[in-house]
Structure 1
């Protein structure tokens, strides 16, 4: 498994997303993934499953230092005091002394970026999170965080898959050596029946989903966190690492329409343009 080195942490390029996994299903999924060799687990305050993730880590027998764990603060909790309360609550649910990466889950129209990142940097300096970062930040927002505030962000987590162009965000992040972590890397299942991806998969004895995932993981500075509740799906995602995409495959994928943004909450999504 390749890792991305960023702001003092090593993040496995392939992780397990846990959005919408709850209760016993969440615990079973995380325990299965850790048993198969996953070492990158992604959760969030908003997912309501941090307690299950924490229980699974505790029961796994895997050394804490070998696991990269990301969690996130919800966009309604971005005032400094609210960040601290949310972080304390997350850590308690996770049963951990620290997390590896703490992200701002979504930007908020009324957020005070300097105050937010002063608070987040303090959490990092206290050793309670090893690194900090953002999710769903546009290039203009990234410029404020990186260039004006100088915050040491370790990644930007955004929707990214073969059906959505993220070249502007990716170009900016690469120019500052900041990784992109792709959520919804399989386009909420839309890649499964894509004829182009199925044809490429047939050539390599792989599925369309494995082709789509390998296309992401082959890119410099990109990690991916597909949600997978079943062990078979988790193993299939691991096996995607072995798919040998060639230049012809990449050209065919590049030619696919890339205008399908699937996560765009009207109440609080930023202006993506």
Structure 2
């Protein structure tokens, strides 16, 4: 069972299931299995083109909707995993996009709605205004952002949006986010890490392998526990049933401070997901 973090009355489990690139029957199976073994945080996005499968898995699981923390994101970049370019979402279409997500997810609300990438038709303030109206309408419990840098987070606050719930960013032992994490702590914004085990790269590093042997855990468990001890939420993605169980089984040990530092020192500026501001025209996730 996942331990959670609480902010503004909302509780987000510290380990969630990422659903990027989970498609069709695989997505249905994995989300169903995850809920069966105790996951209560499912992270999705309109861009992933699998919200129908996520919704069906939640319904079929028998887990009460109110016991699940369900997140989705609005597609602000005009791409889908099938490399199909879609019309870039306009501000006037955000409400309609959310309604479509709710229909596919078979729910009346999502616990968290995020701006998927910092790309705005007009400006950040206009988009946040729309998202907070959806929150007022009880279709969204919390508003968050993804892939925002420190400057943009401070801009949210300066615009008057002081209760941004979280910022979802790429974070793993090989990519330092120290400065951004410090800003998020100061602003009381929860960090949510995607690609936390660096698509399996952590299992190939000697330092993490040695720590896994020391603590009788796997490299993935060492890494996810390292995240948890920094008060960071992690949303690893896997289609493997064994790893599903492995990723959530991190709450029966604690990493010593000296070993935490060893993992911090592995940062080498390895980024898996490109900065979309740098290259807007090509499909960004090859």
The TM-score normalised by the length of structure 1 is 0.94
Say which SS state the counterpart of residue 6 (structure 2) adopts.
strand
Q: Which residue of structure 1 aligns with residue 255 of structure 2?
A: 245
Q: Which residue of structure 2 aligns with residue 139 of structure 1?
A: 150
d(CA) in 1 for partners of 2:62, 2:146: 30
d(CA) in 2 for partners of 1:204, 1:263: 30
Q: Which residue of structure 2 aligns with residue 3 of structure 1?
A: 4
Q: Which residue of structure 1 aligns with residue 108 of structure 2?
A: 97
Q: Which residue of structure 1 aligns with residue 98 of structure 2?
A: 87
1:263 aligns with 2:273: yes
Q: Which residue of structure 2 aligns with residue 36 of structure 1?
A: 37
1:70-85 matches, within 5 Å, as 70-76=71-77, 77-85=88-96
The TM-score normalised by the length of structure 2 is 0.90
Task: Check conservation: 2:170, 2:273, Cα contact below 8 A.
Answer: yes
d(CA) in 1 for partners of 2:120, 2:74: 15
Deviation at 1:249, TM superposition (A): 1.1
- Runs (5+) with no aligned partner, structure 1: none
Flag the 1:170–1:189 CA change in 2: closer, same or farther, 3 A.
same
d(CA) in 2 for partners of 1:159, 1:62: 29
Alignment RMSD, CA only? 1.5
Say which SS state the counterpart of residue 107 (structure 1) adopts.
coil
Deviation at 1:92, TM superposition (A): 0.7
Say which SS state the counterpart of residue 190 (structure 1) adopts.
helix
Deviation at 1:232, TM superposition (A): 0.7
1:127 aligns with 2:128: no
Task: Check conservation: 1:75, 1:107, Cα contact below 8 A.
Answer: yes
d(CA) in 1 for partners of 2:132, 2:120: 21
1:117 aligns with 2:128: yes
d(CA) in 2 for partners of 1:4, 1:99: 17
